[in-house]
Structure 1
Amino acid sequence: MAPPPRHGCMLRAEVVICIFLVIAPFSMAIGVNYGTKGDNLPSPAKVAAFLVTRTNIDRVKLFDTKPDIIRAFAGTGISVMVTASNGDIPGLATQNGADAWVATNIAPYYPATDISLVAVGNEIMDTADKNLIGNLVPAMQTLKAALVTAGYSKIRVSTPSSLGILVDAQPPSAARFRDVLDVAIFTPMLQFLQKTKSPLIVNTYPYFGYNGDTLPYALARSNPGVLDTGTGITYTSMFVAQLDSVYSAMKKLGFEDVEILVGETGWPTKAMDGQIGVSQVEAAEYNKYLIGAVSSGSGTPLMPKRKFETYIFALFNEDLKPGPVAERNFGMFQPDFTPMYDIGIMKDPVSTYTRCR
């Protein structure tokens, strides 16, 4: 998606340091996306040790199956979601291909490394590649069968999608899956997820949907809210509305009981000059709200009392990523592990941050 319009200016960074001292640690497991498109990042072994000893993060999501990264998490107690590349999908749709993929990418590491889920590709619907789209669900099915045959039945299988899979996404009650894909792809996919007790993975970014006027709604600050005339519900959080939009689309196909997993969400600390609402302050504000929202157990208006497995984007800034400035600046930590801000995920937040002006 295109970045939001540019307005206004950033707040002073000193404010963030004061915020660090007053946030309580979260009580629900929160994951983080660990990308590696940078030329200044620490070794996987150092990353794993840091997460274990210094943070409360107990799960990571990888965008590949790099052996050194998967091995680094062996014996750490951190669960790992790995990703089969988009190019692997046609091969995974065959039993021999799926068996070989499991033998190469899972068997050498599991169960020493707690691989919890295999994500098949990433945002495949956005590629418009008919071959990948057509093979996606068969690849998921065949890969799951290969995992079961190998004795790894506890490993879930799913695929991450952007909110581009929806049409009429606002208001939430009107949301539905895209025409043709609803029957051809999402009905069999949701049947598979329901049968295997695996989640539908969605990447939800209020950041990509806000402008200067809707910033309070995107950050869930005090705001008048947005009325869904279909249900009479007034939403004061864009993130919650996005989740309910996904739920509404699933319900229209009869699969409202399938779990929703938030594969990516976050807020950058830097964007184009003059863009309102982008600094360490807003990034900390959004992610602090996010943790409370997904772990509180209150759920959403359409999914009361649900909790959502959620992976914040991202662990580090990645200076080699293409695209707008913001794409390289979603990181919560600098390469030396200095936090960009704190949202309660550090085990020693008070001792680490002593400056407050």
Structure 2
Amino acid sequence: MNPFKPPSLNTLLLIIFIITTVPAGNSIGVNYGTLGDNLPLPSQVAHFLKTRTIIDRIRIFDVNTDIIKAFANSGILVSVTVPNGDIPSLTNPRNARRWIDTNIRPFYPATKIHYICVGTEVLHWGPQNLVDNLVPAMKVLHSALVKEGFDEIKISSPHSLGILLSSDPPSNASFRPGWDVGNLAPMLEFLKETKSGFMVNPYTYFGYSPANANFCLFKPNPGLFDKATGLTYTNQFDQLLDAVYVSMKKLGYPDVEIVVAETGWPSGGDPANVHANPVNAAAYIGGLMKKVNSGDGTPLMPGRKFETYIFALFNENLKGPSLDEKNFGLFRPDFTQVYNVGIMHAALAPSPSPIAATSDAPSSSGSRWDDAPFFNKTTPGQAPPASSATAGPTTVNTNVRDSSLGSTTTNVVLAARLVENNIPDVVIYNILRLVMFIFCTIDAAL
């Protein structure tokens, strides 16, 4: 007599149901810029992101109603932006309510508006009138949202890392004097009260040098040792986030969440910028995705996950004047990938190659700087450099399908369902092995 009692059919079906309906752990946000004359319609973009990618949130640099409407009922979170020039007027409660009535009420909650970003890198670029009115406008807008019953929508404001006086080593970091107590402390107090995130734009691309290439790109390197903490940093992304954290802690706000509002790497650029290439872009974005989805956190923030938005969705041919600015995109305007780092669902993405696809390099004519800023290396008061962007990656893709998975109908259907839910391939492989083992054991027992 065989002592083994196989699980009932109902138990097996329950197991399969659970593992095929658990939502995916991997997700990422993206900045959706529109400085191009060849970009797809917002409705096409919304459908593409929902059905073919793991991107579950977007951030736009205005309140483009076509985009906001296109993402209705998509389940994708949308963060919108108050233009810098509108900030002073929004310190008036009546104007704030009018702004909400015009830009939020007609679309919410069908469109899942997540954040209202009040301005973009306001402290970095100024002028002083905007800086002085930033936190008051954030508070008045929040009060208007609460009065409308929209208190689930959060308020924040993205910052360049020009707000830091220093970041190396992280233990010595601090916010710039004047901004620290005068602007950032009141903002952090507001964010703490409203349970919103402190938004920063860390670009390791702008801290690149041939000597620290691997440190910037999440590649193996000797690391940076911080004597004060005894911690070693193996990538610049962690270093920059911990510098922000230390600066926040010095003001008394270590528990406010940090949101990575922009970060990226261009896949092409001006001839002098040889590090702007698809291989480096893929390495950075691939490393970034692995980092933020791992839940490992940073040396000073272990176990913390960071809501993160890649810069940017598309290559945008009207950015400029540099070619770098045109080539931050994950995708070309025809939805083809600039490089493959697992952004698309595993069943839909081609097998990755160690050499990424050749980057687009549109001619250098184009519009002046407009939507997103960013540069870590500029100093406050400078005129903004050429606009925002998009970044990409190219390393080994951990989402490569394993061709040795079973060929039975059950396995094929189960694998397809798992892929739809973005379950990592290594998990799919082990689940299918388990299912096949169970069925084989049942057959043997019977």
* TM-score normalised by structure 1 residue count: 0.90
| Deviation per residue, 1:152-210 (Å, 9 max, x gap) | 00000000000000102211111111101111101110000000000000001000001
In structure 2, distance between residues paired with 1:49 and 1:350: 14
In 1, are the aligned partners of 2:342 and 2:349 still within 8 Å (CA)? no
1:327 aligns with 2:325: yes
Q: Check the 8 A contact 1:342/1:349 in 2, yes or no.
A: no
Q: Deviations over 1:115-146 (max 9, x none)?
A: 01100000001113110000000000000000
| Alpha-carbon shift at residue 324 of structure 1 (Å) | 2.0
Give the 5 Å matches for 1:1-357.
Answer: 27-348=25-346, 352-353=350-351
Decide whether aligned partners of structure 1 residues 222 and 184 sit closer, same or farther in structure 2, where only a CA change above 3 A counts.
Answer: same
Kindly tell me: are residues 325 and 142 of structure 1, through their superposed partners in 2, closer, same or farther at Cα, counting changes over 3 Å? Answer: same
Which letter maps to 1:133?
Answer: V
Who wins on radius of gyration, i.e. which is larger? 2
Distance 1:136 1:351, change over 3 A: closer
**Higher relative contact order (Cα pairs below 8 Å, separated by 6+ residues):** 1
Q: Which amino acid aligns with 2:238?
A: V
Partners of 2:321 and 2:171 lie apart in 1 by 33
Fraction of identical pairs, as percent: 52
Distance change (3 Å), C-alpha of 1:254 and 1:354: closer
Once residues 136 and 41 of structure 2 are traced to their aligned partners in structure 1, the CA distance between those partners, rounded to angstroms, is 35
The answer to whether the Cα contact below 8 Å between 2:26 and 2:54 also exists between their aligned partners in 1 is no
Q: CA RMSD in A?
A: 1.7
CA shift for structure 1 position 349: 5.0
Q: Helix, strand or coil for the counterpart of 1:195?
A: helix
The offset of 1:232, in angstroms, is 1.9
After TM superposition, give the deviation of residue 305 of structure 1 in Å. Answer: 0.4
Q: Distance in 2 between matches of 1:97 and 1:174?
A: 41
Aligned residues: 333
Secondary structure at the counterpart of residue 213 of structure 1: helix
1:38-83 Cα deviation digits (max 9, x unpaired): 1110010000011011111110000000110100000000000000
Shift of 1:350: 5.8
Distance 1:292 1:351, change over 3 A: closer
* In structure 2, C-alpha distance between the alignment counterparts of 1:274 and 1:252, rounded to whole Å: 39
SS at match of 2:27: coil
- Please report how far the alpha carbon of residue 320 of structure 1 lies from its aligned counterpart in structure 2 after TM superposition: 1.0
| Greater mean deviation of Cα atoms: 270-279 or 294-303 | 270-279
Rounded to whole Å, the distance in 2 between the matches of 1:121 and 1:138 is: 13
Give unpaired runs (5+ residues) of structure 2: 1-23, 356-446
State how far apart, in whole Å, the 1-side matches of 2:193 and 2:142 are. Answer: 11
Q: String of CA shifts for 1:268-294, please: whole Å, max 9, x gaps.
A: 100121533322111111111101111
Give the direction of change, closer, same or farther, for the CA distance of 1:59–1:354 in structure 2 (3 Å limit).
Answer: closer
AA paired with 1:249? S
SS at match of 1:116: strand
Say which SS state the counterpart of residue 255 (structure 1) adopts: coil
